[in-house]
Structure 1
Amino acid sequence: MPKAELCYFPGSPYARMARVLIAEWSLPITPVEWSFPPLDDLFRLNPLGQVPALVEGDKALFPTFLILERLWDVAGRPDDGYRPEDERQILLTTLQAGDAMVAAFYQDWCGLRPVATNHIGYDLGARHLRRFAETLDWLEDHASAGRLRPGVTLPGVAAACLLLWSEARGGPDWGGRERLWSLVRSLEDRPSFQATVPQVWSPG
C-alpha cells in the first residue's frame, strides 16, 4: 500500500478505535497527532472536520466506519476481527449511537440550553443519551446471544472505545450489562488500549 497516515486527536474515541487496530494488527500506518480544536486544514482533508482521517498517498478516507473496514482489509481480512455479513449492522449502529452520546456531551459542554419554544416536544440532549443507552441494551442482547464476540473485533473495539471515553468524561453509568462490561474490561487491559488512553479532561 502507499505511504499511509492516520490523523487523530488524542482524546477522540473514534480515532482511538483505529489506533488500537493499527497496533493490534501491526499495520504499516503511522498515527499523526493533530492539534485540537481542529484547524481549517482538517476541513480541507475531511469536509466533516473530524478525525480520524486515513491518508493513503494523495487520497483521504473517512468517516470512521469506512476507515475501520479499510484497516480490516489491510490486515488481510481476519475472520476473528470482523464478519461483515453478521457484524456490519452492529458496527454501524454502535458508531451512530456514539455520535449521539458525543453530541449530548458537547451540547452540555458548550453551555447550550433552550432559548426559544420547544417545537419538537423533547429535550434533544436527553434524547441523544437515550439513544445511546438503548443501543447499549441492544449490544448486551447481542453479546448474550454470541453475536457481539469477545476479543479484538471491529464492533467490540468500537463499543469499548466509546464506553471508556464516556467513563473518562463523566458520562452516564453503563453498569449492569454483564456481557458488555466483561468485553470492555477484557479489552481495556490490552497494550493497544493502554497506549491510547485519552488525556484527562473535564469541562471548566
Structure 2
Amino acid sequence: MYTVVGATKSRAFRVMWMLEEMGIDYDHNPAGPRSDDAKKFNPLGKIPALVDGDEVLTDSMAIMTYLGDKHGQLTAPAGTPARARQDAMTFWLVDEFDAILWAAAKHSFVLPEDQRVPAIKDALKAEFARSAAVLSDRLTGPFLMGDQMTIPDILAVHCINWSIGAGFPRVDDKLGAWAKEMRDRPAFKAAQAKETS
C-alpha cells in the first residue's frame, strides 16, 4: 500500500486526491514541511513524498505522473500526441500558476523576514490573474484536456484553491464554477476529509 507523506493543506493534497479518484487505498502521514518526520523521507524536509514499497518518490508532479503511468489512469499514454499536449498543459500550469503562488508564499512566510520582498506580491497577483484568464479561455470541455479528467485538472484546481487562501484575485465565473464542480467530486471530498481524521 502507498503512503502519502505530507500535510493535507499542502501539495500532498494533489497526490491524495489523485489516489482517491483512482480508487486506490493509501495510508496518510500528515507530516508538516521541514518536520523531523518529513526529513525521514526527504532530507530537505519537503513534502509530499510517496512511499511505494522500498521506493520513496518526491515532488507532487513527479509522483502524480508516476501514479498515472503505473495505473493507466488520469493520463494520456506516454509517447502519444495526447500525452504531449497534456504535458504541455501541466508544465504551463507549473510555470504560470504553481510557481507564482509559491513565489508569493516565499515572500509572505517561507523566507526569513529580512529576505522577503512584500512589494513583489502585487505583481505576482497580476500575473496570476492574466494566467487565469488564459486558462479560462482554454477550458472548452468538462475537463482541461477534453472529456476525460487528467492530472492537469487536479493541478489547476489545487492552485485555484491555493490562490483563494492566499488572497489572490478571484478567477472569472467560468473558471470558478468549473473549480467548484471539481471540488464537489466525491474523491476531492474524501481527500479533504483526511484533514480531520
TM-score range, shorter chain: 0.7 to 0.9
TM-score, structure 2 normalization: 0.77
What is the aligned-residue RMSD (CA, Å)? 3.3
Contact kept? 1:140, 1:177, Cα under 8 Å: no
3-state SS of 1:173 partner: coil
Specify which structure has the higher proportion of helix.
2
Within 2, Cα distance between the matches of 1:78 and 1:41?
A: 30
AA aligned opposite 1:93:
W
Matched, 1:163 2:160: yes
Show the counterpart of 2:7. Answer: 9
Within 2, Cα distance between the matches of 1:79 and 1:41?
A: 31
Matched, 1:21 2:18: yes
AA aligned opposite 1:51:
I
TM-score, structure 1 normalization: 0.75
Matched, 1:136 2:132: yes
Within 2, Cα distance between the matches of 1:5 and 1:192?
A: 17
Please list, as runs of the form range in 1=range in 2, the aligned pairs for 1:25-174 lying within 5 A after superposition.
25-34=22-31, 36-77=32-73, 83-96=82-95, 97-109=97-109, 112=113, 123-144=119-140, 148-149=145-146, 152-167=149-164, 169-174=165-170
Per-residue deviation, residues 23-74 of structure 1 (Å, max 9, x unmatched) = 111124333221x353144235224432211112222112111111111123
Matched, 1:197 2:196: no
Within 2, Cα distance between the matches of 1:90 and 1:170?
A: 23
Q: 1:196 to 1:165 in 2, by over 3 A?
A: farther
Q: Structure 1 runs of 4+ off > 6 angstroms?
A: none
Give the gaps of 5 or more residues in structure 1.
none
Within 2, Cα distance between the matches of 1:25 and 1:69?
A: 13
Give the gaps of 5 or more residues in structure 2.
none
Contact kept? 1:42, 1:49, Cα under 8 Å: yes
Give the fraction of aligned pairs with identical amino acids, expressed as a percent: 21
Contact kept? 1:104, 1:128, Cα under 8 Å: yes
Size of the alignment, in residue pairs?
189
3-state SS of 1:60 partner: strand
Contact kept? 1:9, 1:15, Cα under 8 Å: yes
